[in-house]
Amino acid sequence: MSQSSEAAAYWKANIRLVIGCLVVWFTVSYVCGIFFAEQLNSIKILGGYPLGFWFAQQGSIYTFVVLIFFYASRMNKLDKKHNVEEK
């Protein structure tokens, strides 16, 4: 595989990972926190808090932090696969 095609494959995998993370973040923060808040509010968690409120206030933040660690982990694997890891 040539160097330019290897770089293109690396970039394509990177963009696919970023888009996947953004879709998850968007789904949790906007879809669950705003669009389905009324339906989720019928479910109570942690001492009676409505689940829709939790998604709007805390869920998107926790999801974003988890996505940061997920992205870093996956990028390390991707870097090793394409031989561009930091030493």
Determine the structural domain holding residue 33 and report its residue range. Answer: 3-81
54: exposed, middle or buried (Cβ count in 10 Å: 0-12, 13-18, 19+): buried
Mean pLDDT taken over the chain: 88
How many Å apart are CA 19 and CA 67, to the nearest integer? 12
Is pLDDT above 90 for 10?
yes
Question: What is the predicted pLDDT for the residue at 1?
Answer: 62
Task: Give the separation between CA 33 and CA 50, rounded to whole angstroms.
Answer: 11
pLDDT at 34: 79
Residue 40, in any domain of the structure: yes
In a domain, 54, yes or no: yes
As for how many domains the chain has, the answer is 1
Note if the pTM is more than 0.85.
no
Per-residue pLDDT tens for 24-37?
988 888 887 778 88
Q: Would you say residue 43 lies in a domain? A: yes
Model confidence pLDDT, tens digit, residues 57-72: 788 888 899 999 999 9
40 vs 60: CA distance, rounded Å: 14
Would residue 30 count as lying in a domain? yes
CA gap 13, 47 in Å, rounded: 42
In a domain, 8, yes or no: yes
Q: What is the DSSP letter of 64?
A: H
Strand residues in 1-87 grouped as ranges (E): 44-45, 49-50
Q: Is residue 68 part of a domain?
A: yes
Q: Is residue 55 part of a domain?
A: yes
Residue 87 located in a structural domain: no
- pLDDT by residue (tens digit) across 43-58? 888 788 888 888 777 8
